[in-house]
Structure 1
Amino acid sequence: MSSEAGVTSEGKRATPNIVLIARRQAKGWGRERLAREFERLGRLLDLPTPELSAMTKAIYRHETGRAAVRDEVYIRLYCAAFETNSHDLFGTLSGDVQADGSCGLTSHKFVPVYLGSELLPVLIEAARLAPGAVQWAGCHVGQVEHPAGVCTLYAFPWGVGVFHLAEDLSVPNIASLAVWRRQTYRDARQWATDWLREATGSEIPVAHYVLSAYWVHEPPWRGRELTIALRLLSMPRVLLDRGTDDAGPSLHHAELVEQALLRDGFHDGRIDEFGVGGLSIGCASWAGLSYYPQAPGRALQVSDLIECELLVQALWSYCHHVHEQVEQGHDPVVPAEYGWRWVRAVRSRLTVTRPQETAQHASMRSAVLETSELGKHLTTALELLRDVDGE
């Protein structure tokens, strides 16, 4: 293949398209045979095709990299002949970002709410939650009806309920996801608050925030753009204006920002990457997570991510309750069995690597803890609760 490499019409050294060559050779075809297939497909798809000799020459130029495949007719013919899409065949040969098609992903929303020791048993009975566990933590769990997707409610014994809402999505770009995310966050918080208040008969429960994790199934990006896209998915808010009017964020503006960042690159010190080269790409930030298993059989499983976030958010909500009491001028009050000694034990479980824990899982856990600042919150809660005990 290297012997056929030459220069492009612009005088640059040509780079052979080894994907096109490999696809053709896998069929057992020569270039002229592929050209004849183009003739047949042209008639089938009602596409105007050049002469056979002209197509043979074009195939040679495309494969050797002397000419990029820009003609829509040839793009469609190659895709039809090799039964695949343009990204798999051509990537972004020009160096410009061109993300064809939509991105298939699952949105995982986590909505934690502090209930306290009195309301928790009321919730468990009202929602008919069954005993369960999330990693090392016992809890009660059950399905609840939600109009947007599959929703599971977890009730943790330290007084926190966490809704996990999974929604399968197909989005044309990250900008549309960012707009949808902002629009649905308020609804998710209000829904969780209303649902818990009705279930418990109390006005105490309030959902303060939502955290999202995006598990990518079918990315339209490749190479460098794929890594940039995963970073943006972990922090999609960077695509939106900080101040928006009642009409909501501008999708057009967000799309322009996305295109610029995919082209020029996006780096943020608040993002901690935890993927493994060749296996996965994972990004964690204060705003959320994104993960793409490039090798699904060897990468993390979706349950690994979900269970990690369930624990982190349930404990974060507990710490927030402790801090909130102190900021209101009160001594923090928690159930005796979930005092500072319990917090110390939890902090150790979260921050110390387990003997049989995989490197991938340890890397994800470390990234989530670092970006959520849960370790700091646990340490502060521990000190505040120990001060109350006078120890």
Structure 2
Amino acid sequence: MPTVQAWTGRETRALRQALRMSIRDFAQNLGVSERTVSKWEAGREAVRPRPEMQAALDTALSRAGGQAADRFASATSRSVLQNKPVVAGFRVQSHKFMPVYTSASVAADLAAQDAFRPRPHEWLKVSVAALPHPEGTCTAHLFACGVMVLHITQELHFRTLASLAAWRYASYEGDVPWAADQVLKLLSSAPPTVDVAPEYVLSMYVLQEPAWTADELENALRLMSLPSVLVNRRAQPRPEPVDDLVERRLLTQGFDQPSIQPFGVDGVSLGYASWAGVAYHAVCPERALLVDDLVSCEVDVQMLWAYCRHIQRQIEDGRDPAMPPDFGWRFLRAAHSRLTTARARETAQHCMMREAALSTSGLPERLTQAQAALRETATLSGRVDI
């Protein structure tokens, strides 16, 4: 059980969220007013509850179950806890990607704002901005074609893979509305003409401190890339982690699915991708892929997926898809070529990573369909010679 040396508003908020309680329920549990809890959380590190409330918070933490304790430990894994690890387990860096289509004109207006700065990119104009995130860091990648990809990074510590999987499902419930709110704030000066709520979240996990060896480590990475097998999705009010014995059996007896594609190199790295996410571990950091390589690839894939999805949505609405001339079917043809053709200076690891991300996302097929739809529209309007 983790121990807190001195409670502040930050740890109070982490405990309430770990217990899955509303401010009202948490206040009733402690015997204080809702306003008191709100003041604690708003003050973060600058606020320390009175000594009698410190004791009450200690009691509330001691009564937390194993899953709640795991969640609390992950959210507060820093110097306020005792010097030794709070629970045995593993450390992983979580990366979440949430794409949203805004339109090219809105993207151009946003890129001109002070919050955004240009970022080098091989084949497309991109700007980035840092957004405040309550439990990690967030970077908004704004592409000239009209797609914004929000990238959230969080440092996590869990005892079991099932706890990580359950956290993933639970956190997604808040990620999408949070992301939509952030995008709307950025767009306050340039109101969008389309819905700017992201449709989904894709996760990538970079394992930093493993708790397994040999075959179990490979099985752990496979499970991270397809974590749905580690949660009971029928549980109410939200999915719950499976029993430890189930996870142990999967780790020792093996876990594999045809939909999971490996992209690691023996003695260098372990990497697996599925439609649900990506998991990676650098066995030899000096020779393995950089985290930035993984992130850049996934940001591009998610950007193009959202762009093609916008085109598909127009078709499903019974309209001929129309996009700006600079980002029509030729743009998609070039994007398809750049993503599927190896570059001269690319390593085998880079090629395998990109192929795994593309094949498991289904993006190549979507690019082909979107390209054909835009070309047909251009042909019918007399803007292209076939």
Q: Which residue of 2 aligns with 1:221?
A: 212
Name the CA distance, whole Å, in 2 between partners of 1:119 and 1:258. 46
Alignment partner of 1:174 is 2:179 = no
**Residues 74-130 of structure 1 deviation map (CA, whole Å, 9 limit, x = unaligned):** xxxxxxxxxxxxxxxxxxxxxxxxxx9311110011111100123213333456201
Alignment partner of 1:281 is 2:270 = yes
> Which is worse superposed, 142-151 or 202-211?
202-211
Q: Which residue of 2 aligns with 1:35?
A: none
User: Does structure 2 conserve the Cα–Cα contact (< 8 Å) formed by 1:106 and 1:216?
Assistant: yes
Alignment partner of 1:161 is 2:152 = no
Name the CA distance, whole Å, in 2 between partners of 1:279 and 1:211. 25
Three-state SS of the structure 1 residue aligned to 2:246 is helix
**Which of 340, 343, 347 lines up with 1:351 in the alignment?**
340
Alignment partner of 1:374 is 2:336 = no
| Distance 1:135-1:220 versus aligned 2 partners, 3 A rule | farther
Q: Which residue of 1 aligns with 2:108?
A: 121
Three-state SS of the structure 1 residue aligned to 2:232 is coil
**Residues 321-367 of structure 1 deviation map (CA, whole Å, 9 limit, x = unaligned):** 00011011111121110000111011000001111110010010011
- Counterpart mapping for 1:1-391 below 5 A: 101-126=88-113, 128-201=115-188, 202=191, 204-246=195-237, 248-251=238-241, 253-390=242-379, 391=386
Three-state SS of the structure 2 residue aligned to 1:275 is coil
Name the CA distance, whole Å, in 1 between partners of 2:235 and 2:364. 33
**Residues 130-176 of structure 1 deviation map (CA, whole Å, 9 limit, x = unaligned):** 11124443201121111111111110011000111110111111101
User: Does structure 1 conserve the Cα–Cα contact (< 8 Å) formed by 2:103 and 2:147?
Assistant: yes
TM-score scaled by length of structure 2: 0.73
User: Does structure 2 conserve the Cα–Cα contact (< 8 Å) formed by 1:149 and 1:165?
Assistant: yes
Name the CA distance, whole Å, in 1 between partners of 2:121 and 2:179. 21
Three-state SS of the structure 2 residue aligned to 1:168 is strand
User: Does structure 1 conserve the Cα–Cα contact (< 8 Å) formed by 2:91 and 2:207?
Assistant: yes
Tell me how many residue pairs correspond in the alignment. Answer: 290
Name the CA distance, whole Å, in 2 between partners of 1:275 and 1:134. 25
1:239 to partner: Cα distance: 1.2
| Distance 1:267-1:317 versus aligned 2 partners, 3 A rule | same
User: Does structure 2 conserve the Cα–Cα contact (< 8 Å) formed by 1:233 and 1:290?
Assistant: yes
1:254 to partner: Cα distance: 4.9
Q: Which residue of 1 aligns with 2:55?
A: none
**Residues 229-252 of structure 1 deviation map (CA, whole Å, 9 limit, x = unaligned):** 000001111212243322x1223x
1:370 to partner: Cα distance: 0.5
Structure 2 unaligned spans of 5+:
1-86, 380-385
Name the CA distance, whole Å, in 2 between partners of 1:118 and 1:206. 18
Q: How big is the alpha-carbon RMSD for the aligned residues of Structure 1 and Structure 2?
A: 1.5
Three-state SS of the structure 2 residue aligned to 1:145 is strand
User: Does structure 2 conserve the Cα–Cα contact (< 8 Å) formed by 1:134 and 1:311?
Assistant: no
Name the CA distance, whole Å, in 2 between partners of 1:179 and 1:242. 9
Off by >6 Å, runs of 4+ in structure 1: none
**Residues 247-278 of structure 1 deviation map (CA, whole Å, 9 limit, x = unaligned):** x1223x25343222112211101100000001
Name the CA distance, whole Å, in 1 between partners of 2:222 and 2:187. 39
Three-state SS of the structure 2 residue aligned to 1:140 is strand
Q: Which residue of 2 aligns with 1:50?
A: none
**Which structure has the greater CA radius of gyration?**
1
Three-state SS of the structure 1 residue aligned to 2:296 is helix
User: Does structure 2 conserve the Cα–Cα contact (< 8 Å) formed by 1:155 and 1:162?
Assistant: yes
Of all paired residues, the percent bearing the same amino acid is: 42
1:198 to partner: Cα distance: 2.4
Three-state SS of the structure 1 residue aligned to 2:120 is strand
Three-state SS of the structure 1 residue aligned to 2:133 is coil
User: Does structure 2 conserve the Cα–Cα contact (< 8 Å) formed by 1:316 and 1:374?
Assistant: yes
Name the CA distance, whole Å, in 1 between partners of 2:338 and 2:244. 42
TM-score scaled by length of structure 1: 0.72
